[in-house]
């Protein structure tokens, strides 16, 4: 994947709201589903224990509602993604279909892990987040447009400002968020630099 293709300036998708403060990574994906070699298939386990009972019967949860199938912008509240720093949490959300998250605040490591996947985490005020959540629950088929460059999200005939750390915003817009992709796309330079490091003297051999 070229860096030009990985620029993320805008995300347009249906929205889905998951309400509640301090939703931790264990609730996003329980630890028992992390015993995998790859991240493939983790999407079906997103919010598993609050979506299903012990017999596998569906509970009342936004991720179980048919009208939210295909949603790509998640709207959350305070301190989302707190707890352990498992990267499986953003992986499961991304593989379920989430392309961006808007919330009141995020755990720092969770937001960083999302950034590494190209999933922007942007922040709005409590009142604005509640307004967004109300909107996507009432209008589940409506498409929201999150503009990373301009720092705003449009929904219906409304728009609110959203924020992200300047460094993360810049890397998304410029297409430099995919650090592994950058290393691969510049392999010769990567090899040259690695050969100069004493602890990487056998790199590429």
DSSP notation for 97-149: T--EEEES-B-HHHHHHHHHTT--EEE--HHHHHHHHHHHHH-TTPEEEEETT
pLDDT reading at 19 higher than 90: yes
pLDDT band at 1, cuts 50/70/90?
very low
The fold for domain 9-174 equals Aconitase; domain 4 (3.20.19)
Cα atoms found within 13 Å of the Cα of residue 70, Cβ hemisphere only? 10
In the chain, where are the structural domains located?
A: 9-174, 176-205
Alpha carbons 65 and 88: distance in angstroms, whole number: 23
pLDDT reading at 37 higher than 80: no
Give the pLDDT score at 193. 64
Q: Are 13 and 71 in contact (CB under 8 A)?
A: yes
Give the pLDDT score at 181. 55
pTM confidence score: 0.85
Task: Give burial (CB, 10 Å; 0-12/13-18/19+) of 179.
Answer: exposed
- Over residues 131-156, mean pLDDT: 97
pLDDT reading at 4 higher than 50: no
pLDDT band at 3, cuts 50/70/90?
very low
pLDDT band at 39, cuts 50/70/90?
confident
Give the pLDDT score at 63. 98
Give the pLDDT score at 175. 86
pLDDT band at 139, cuts 50/70/90?
very high
Give the pLDDT score at 196. 66
């Amino acid at each position: 994947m070229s860096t030009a293709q990985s620029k993320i300036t805008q995300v347009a998708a249906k929205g889905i709201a998951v309400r509640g403060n301090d939703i931790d990574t264990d609730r996003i994906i329980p630890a028992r589903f992390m015993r995998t070699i790859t991240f493939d298939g983790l999407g079906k386990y997103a919010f598993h224990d609050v979506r299903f009972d012990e017999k596998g019967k569906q509970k009342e949860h936004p991720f179980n509602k048919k009208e939210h199938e295909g949603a790509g912008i998640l709207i959350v509240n305070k301190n989302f993604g707190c707890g352990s720093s498992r990267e499986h949490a953003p992986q499961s959300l991304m593989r379920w279909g989430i392309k961006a998250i808007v919330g009141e605040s995020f755990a720092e490591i969770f937001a960083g892990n999302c950034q590494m996947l190209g999933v922007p985490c942007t922040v709005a005020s409590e009142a604005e987040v509640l307004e967004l959540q109300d909107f996507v629950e009432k209008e589940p088929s409506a498409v929201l447009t999150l503009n990373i460059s301009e720092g705003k999200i449009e929904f219906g005939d409304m728009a609110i400002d959203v924020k992200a750390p300047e460094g993360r915003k810049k890397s998304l817009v410029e297409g430099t968020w995919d650090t592994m992709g950058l290393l691969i796309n510049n392999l010769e330079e990567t090899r040259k630099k690695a050969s100069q490091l004493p602890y990487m003297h056998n790199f590429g051999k």
